[in-house]
Amino acid sequence: MALWGASEQASGSSSQAKPAKESAPSAPVRPVEPLRPEEGASVVLDRSTRVEGKLSFEGSAQVAGNFTGEIRSRGRLRVEEGARVQAEISVGTAIILGEVLGNIQATEAVELRKSARLRGNIETPTLHIELGAVFEGACKMDRDAPTRPAKKS
């Protein structure tokens, strides 16, 4: 008995195994950078986290995973790139780098960074939108209105 088709080679048989086609080298895979918690963040929802419900906090919060529900605070909320938030948001300051579906009410400011995707309305005295950000909704700005604290639940 011949190994690896040696007898077929001698007899001229066409059932010889052919080498596999070489595939083009794929692009190098970049490892996902670990989440760097914002200094002083009192709440951090990591990339692997999925939460449904009501979130209230003092200070600041950082969302890198998926959140569905309601967010209320007088502090600062940061939605990281790659995060997905579906919520009604009422905070002091909102910094959006990820995707938000819902309305944002901020007593101080809203920042939409270039990777942000927001589908909802904004109410804030100060709004900053970087080139590349996507905003689908309406915005109401009144710099002269006294800043009212966010409702606490």
3-state SS string over the chain? CCCCCHHHHHHCCCCCCCCCCCCCCCCCCCCCCCCCCCCCEEEEECCCCEEEEEEEECCEEEECCEEEEEEEECCEEEECCCCEEEEEEEEEEEEECCEEECCEEEEEEEEECCCCEEECCEECCCEEECCCCEEECCEECCCCCCCCCCCCC
Residue with structure tokens 């007899």?
11
- Comparison of pLDDT for 102 and 30, the residue scoring more: 102
> By mean pLDDT, which of 28-32, 69-73, 114-118, 123-127 is the weakest?
28-32
The whole-model pTM stands at 0.69
- 148 within some domain: no
Residue 33 lies in a domain: no
Whether residue 57 is contained in a domain is answered as yes
pLDDT at 26: 56
Q: 44-53, 120-129, 134-143: which range is least confident on average?
A: 44-53
Q: Could you tell me if residue 5 is inside a domain?
A: no
Q: Is residue 111 domain-resident?
A: yes
Q: Residue 23 pLDDT more than 70?
A: no
> At 53, which amino acid appears?
G
Residue 83 lies in a domain: yes
What is the pLDDT confidence band of residue 28, given thresholds at 50, 70 and 90?
low
Among the ranges given (18-32, 73-87, 100-114), the one the predictor scored with the smallest mean pLDDT: 18-32
- Percent above pLDDT 90 for the chain: 59
| Structural domain range at position 52 | 39-140
Report the residue count for the chain. Answer: 153
Report the candidate in 67, 75, 68, 81 with the shortest Cα–Cα distance to residue 113.
81
In a domain, 23, yes or no: no
d(CA 23, CA 107): 55
Overall number of domains in the chain: 1
pLDDT at 32: 45
121: left (phi over 0), alpha (psi -120 to 50) or beta: beta
**Confidence grade of residue 46 (pLDDT, cut at 50, 70, 90):** confident
What is residue 47's predicted lDDT score, i.e. its pLDDT?
87
